[in-house]
Amino acid sequence: MRQMVNGKIVEVFTNLDGSVSSDAIRKAARIPGDRPLILQQPDGSNTIINPGQDVPLTPDQYFGDIPVHKRGTGATPANQTA
């Protein structure tokens, strides 16, 4: 089945019940394992999909990932020292 992931259409293989493994989605879309996989429902709600979790697929779903975000480095820039 073709599925929209991060703005790209990828081909994922479904299980007999029409679901797909989150690992298969990650592999098809080349999403690193350290990023959360998010399922956006047609109503706009978001669900975090765990590694290895099977997800029922419908054509109107959208998957994406969230990049790892670090806030600050703990170092003070040279131009901001007192």
CA distance 71 to 9: 31
Q: Decide if 34 is inside a domain.
A: yes
Name the residue among 66, 67, 49, 42 with its Cα closest to residue 12. 49
Range of the domain at 29: 2-68
75 located within any domain: no
**Would residue 76 count as lying in a domain?**
no
Q: What is the mean pLDDT of the chain?
A: 80
- The residue with greater pLDDT, 15 or 73, is 15
**The pLDDT of residue 66:** 80
Q: Residue 6: pLDDT above 80? A: no
The reply to whether 48 falls in a domain is yes
Give the tens place of pLDDT for each residue, 39-52.
888 888 888 999 88
Which pLDDT band, with edges at 50, 70 and 90, does 33 fall under? confident
In a domain, 23, yes or no: yes
Instruction: Please report whether residue 80 resides in a domain.
Output: no
The total of structural domains in the chain comes to: 1
In a domain, 73, yes or no: no
In a domain, 19, yes or no: yes
| pLDDT bracket for residue 54 (50, 70, 90) | very high
